[in-house]
Amino acid sequence: MDLQSNKNVIDEIDQRIIEALQQDGRRPFTKIAADLGISEASVRQRVSHLINTHVMQIVAVTNPVKLGFSMASMIGIRVSGERLLEAAAEIAAFDEVIYLILCTGRFDLLAEVVCRDNDHFLNFLTEKLYKVPGVQLAESYTYLRVCKDTCTPVGISLFGATFNRSE
């Protein structure tokens, strides 16, 4: 997510379409149109515009546990300054890393990692992450339970309502 990019202006209809698709990304445009009192063509055109302007994307969200990845961890990583971007690119290429951000604060990077088990995680740390030139420190926080997951990096709150995926 590029926080410096221009904001796209969306109206209440766009917002309600986004909400409907966050609840069910396969919901037919005919049902969305009926709920909103607009034509299916209007919904289709608005969704296309929202996708083309990168306001939203429609993707399949997998459940890592169902795919055999029963261990998840957030890792705070400190990297030497001159290697920050190169290290980030190398770490981002690892299959186990599903989310990576450059950040301020105690760490330079935060990586969300999924592994099959503790042995896989240990192998990831010792054979991949710790071997990236510039990595100085990695502090891992193993997930015990996910208490909230909206599948969006930013919750949307406009027009007096908050729009997040239903649990």
Question: Are residues 32 and 86 both part of a single domain?
Answer: no
Give the pTM.
Answer: 0.68
- Domain encompassing residue 27: 12-60
Question: Are residues 36 and 75 both part of a single domain?
Answer: no
Question: Are residues 53 and 86 both part of a single domain?
Answer: no
Whether residue 35 lies inside any domain: the answer is yes
Output the domain CATH number for residue 21: 1.10.10.10
Question: Are residues 53 and 85 both part of a single domain?
Answer: no
CA triple 26-30-35, angle to 5 deg = 95
Widest CA span in the chain: 57
Count up the domains in the chain and report the number.
2
- Residue 22 confidence (pLDDT): 87
User: Nearest Cα to 129, choosing from 73, 63, 69?
Assistant: 73
Per-residue pLDDT tens digits for 105-134: 999 999 999 999 999 999 999 999 999 999
End-to-end Cα spacing for the chain: 24
Question: Are residues 98 and 123 both part of a single domain?
Answer: yes
Question: Are residues 108 and 137 both part of a single domain?
Answer: yes
pLDDT band for position 162 (cuts 50, 70, 90): very low
- Which CA distances in Å does 85 have to 4, 26, 82, 160? 18, 37, 8, 39
- Residue 158 confidence (pLDDT): 42
Whether residue 36 lies inside any domain: the answer is yes
Cβ(115)–Cβ(96) below 8 Å? yes
Question: Are residues 98 and 121 both part of a single domain?
Answer: yes
User: Nearest Cα to 74, choosing from 98, 94, 91, 93?
Assistant: 98
- Integer-rounded Cα Rg, in Å, for the chain is 19
Question: Are residues 45 and 83 both part of a single domain?
Answer: no
- Quickly tell me which residue has 């409907």 as its tokens: 20
